[in-house]
């Protein structure tokens, strides 16, 4: 019995019995290290797409409604009525006038009256003043005349005076005139150059805008450039298209009140 008791109380038995209690901090450190290893493994699995990873269940998160943005309707571009008071240069089917204002190709312009009289001189064209000004509704009237005056033998000075009377008539009726330069002429080219010089000077002195359909199609002598006219008096399609391009470039600025961007006149 005593011998058995000594066996139970031997130092080695006591060491085996009390070893865990000798250093509890070591056990805690080991447990903490194990937790760190598990956490690191889980993080690595999440980053690499491996396990453990929580399964994604479709439809588990409610989708927020997407509100469609509806663009506000654009405000219509304001326009001003534009009439023409002219001879045949605005009348024929391919004219600069028909390719621009009539075709609704000029920004800011709407169609007023088409008061064009083929073969008429300025004094005769005056009969269309009421129609042109009334349709302009206090807007603008393009005034183009002079070719037939010169061909009929009137001097550039007399033709210029009659055209200025048309400008005055437009103003008296509450609208604003725009001076359209006289197109080239194979027959009276020198006179056309002089008439346009007089008209440009008078228009600038009177605060009237100038629409230049002469310069892009004229040669140095006041006649038509090659290929721009078939009869020496009127523009053909090529010539009228060049004139129309100038109207589309110049007229919006005139309607907006920017009179300074006009082409120089010889």
| Dihedral of alpha carbons 152, 156, 160, 162, sign | negative
263 has a pLDDT exceeding 60: no
What are the phi and psi torsion angles at 62 (to 5°)? -75, 130
More confident residue, 39 or 236: 236
Q: Within 13 A of 97's CA, how many CA atoms are on the CB side? A: 23
CA distance 246 to 211: 8
Q: What is the value of pTM for the model shown? A: 0.70
pLDDT at residue 193, rounded to an integer:
99
pLDDT at residue 183, rounded to an integer:
99
pLDDT-derived band at 161, boundaries 50, 70, 90: very high
Cβ atoms of 196 and 266 closer than 8 Å: yes
Query: Other CB atoms closer than 10 Å to residue 194's CB: what's the count?
Result: 18
CA distance 202 to 160: 9
Tens-place pLDDT, residues 24-59: 555 555 555 555 554 554 554 444 454 455 454 454
17 has a pLDDT exceeding 50: no
């Amino acid at each position: 019995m005593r011998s058995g008791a000594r066996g139970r109380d031997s130092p080695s038995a006591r060491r085996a019995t009390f070893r865990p209690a000798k250093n509890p901090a070591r056990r805690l450190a080991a447990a903490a290290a194990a937790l760190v290893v598990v956490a690191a493994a889980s993080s690595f699995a999440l980053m690499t797409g491996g396990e453990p990873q929580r399964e994604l269940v479709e439809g588990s998160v409610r989708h927020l409604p997407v509100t469609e943005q509806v663009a506000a309707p654009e405000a219509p571009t304001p326009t001003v009525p534009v009439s023409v008071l002219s001879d045949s240069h605005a009348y024929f089917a391919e004219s600069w006038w028909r390719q621009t204002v009539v075709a609704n190709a000029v920004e800011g312009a709407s169609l007023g009256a088409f008061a064009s009289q083929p073969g008429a001189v300025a004094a005769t064209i005056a009969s269309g003043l009421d129609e042109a000004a009334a349709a302009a509704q206090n807007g603008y009237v393009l005034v183009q005349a002079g070719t037939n005056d010169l061909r009929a033998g009137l001097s550039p000075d007399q033709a210029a005076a009659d055209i200025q009377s048309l400008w005055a008539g437009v103003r008296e009726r509450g609208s604003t005139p725009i001076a359209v330069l006289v197109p080239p002429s194979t027959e009276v080219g020198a006179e056309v150059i002089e008439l346009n010089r007089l008209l440009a000077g008078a228009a600038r002195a009177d605060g009237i805008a100038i629409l230049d359909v002469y310069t892009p199609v004229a040669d140095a002598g006041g006649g038509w450039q090659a290929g721009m006219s078939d009869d020496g008096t009127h523009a053909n399609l090529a010539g009228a298209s060049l004139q129309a391009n100038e109207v589309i470039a110049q007229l919006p600025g005139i309607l907006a009140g920017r009179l300074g961007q006009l082409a120089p006149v010889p």
